[in-house]
Structure 1
Amino acid sequence: MVQEALTNVVRHSAASEVTVHLHQDDRGLRVEVLDNGAPAPATQAEGQGIRGMRERVRLLDGTLPVGPLETGGWLVRADLPKEGIAW
């Protein structure tokens, strides 16, 4: 998921900065990729890469909110429950 999100930043966002955050707690794992670039037009926003990420996250019973932020930039966040992750 991180690799695909970073590929999308390079290909589509013209961002000058990208941050990857990982947070693990008793509920599971949260992975966030945040950039400061302009988002792709709405007609291009959900391509094969995002669909593939959604499928992989869904297999782990997780969620994948993806989209532009009101403050600018783009966020990809995977929330993976502890039960779905092989620790």
Structure 2
Amino acid sequence: MTLLYRDRWYGPEQLASDSSWRTNNTTSQDAHPHWNCSGVGTYTYKGYSQHASLESDGVRYTATTSNWQDPGVSRFDC
């Protein structure tokens, strides 16, 4: 699952989301949300993803990624 937000004066606004899953494969499908930000102004954008893999031996691996820890990096004009 992947989520894309932008900061607004009233709180975070969810712009897009996407997810994918596959069984018995070595890769997953495209799970990036796509959003056209042309001409909307300068905002801080944030992304968050959760990842999981259930291996054949029954072990489940999970991870998350986000850019929320570094607030100044994701501020740009669209």
TM over 0.5: no
More helix by share: 1
* TM-score with structure 1 setting the length: 0.27
Q: Normalising by structure 2, report the TM-score.
A: 0.28
Structure with the higher strand share, 1 or 2: 2
